[in-house]
Amino acid sequence: MVRIRHGMTWCRRGISLLWSPDALATFADPAEVISIRQLFAMARAWPEVLPSAGGDAVVVAGAEGCIDSLDGVEAERWIAEDLRQVVMGFQEHYEGGAALVLWIPSGRPRIIMHGASEHYYMRHRAYSDGRLPIGRLLCSGAENEIERIMMTEDRRADPDGPHWAGLYHPRIS
């Protein structure tokens, strides 16, 4: 069963992979987006006020480029160890009361769900079968709690259709 998140609570807390520019524009100005390098620097001393959503969110660009520049094994290690450590530190510091949004501009055609297992993958040129297990690597044992961000209140909207704006997880463990 595909889990759906309607409404905007995802931009105030939790972890999101977002690819819809319309969704991004609802809570962040492009000038507020920081680089992945800035996120890793920020992780050394988390600020009390974040740059987006009235101080409750940070939008990060560049994770996609990092993943694409690595071979499959290194991309897997970077997500599972380095990026996940920063995400966990973010959650711990803000105690689930802030949002970390990873801006993945090409995510819509690249993020896929395997229907039988409901696991999420990212198409990656250098991964063994072309599908990097992004859900497992980032969310570990909590992958089954991933929800799709839908930019419509129509509960009958196709979860794979044009309103699919990203993925959301309230708190990874």
When computed from its CA atoms, the radius of gyration of the chain, rounded to whole angstroms, is 15
How far, in Å, are 22, 47, 58, 110, 126 from residue 105 at the CA level? 12, 26, 16, 10, 19
**For 3-12, 83-92, 110-119, which range has the lowest pLDDT when averaged over its residues?**
3-12
What's the mean per-residue pLDDT of the chain? 92
| pLDDT for 128 beyond 80 | no
Kind and range of the H or E element at 109?
A: helix 107-110
- What pLDDT was estimated at residue 35? 98
- What pLDDT was estimated at residue 167? 95
Per residue in 132-152, pLDDT (tens digit) is 999 999 998 788 899 999 998
- Enter the tokens of residue 15: 């972890």
Banded model confidence at residue 1, pLDDT cuts 50, 70, 90: low
- What pLDDT was estimated at residue 44? 97
How far, in Å, are 14, 77, 89, 162 from residue 158 at the CA level? 24, 33, 34, 8
How many folded domains does the chain comprise?
1
- Full domain range(s) for residue 53: 4-169
| pLDDT for 86 beyond 90 | yes
Which amino acid type is present at position 20? Answer: S
This prediction's pTM: 0.93
Per residue in 32-53, pLDDT (tens digit) is 999 999 999 999 999 999 999 9
Banded model confidence at residue 99, pLDDT cuts 50, 70, 90: very high
pLDDT > 70 in the chain, percent: 99
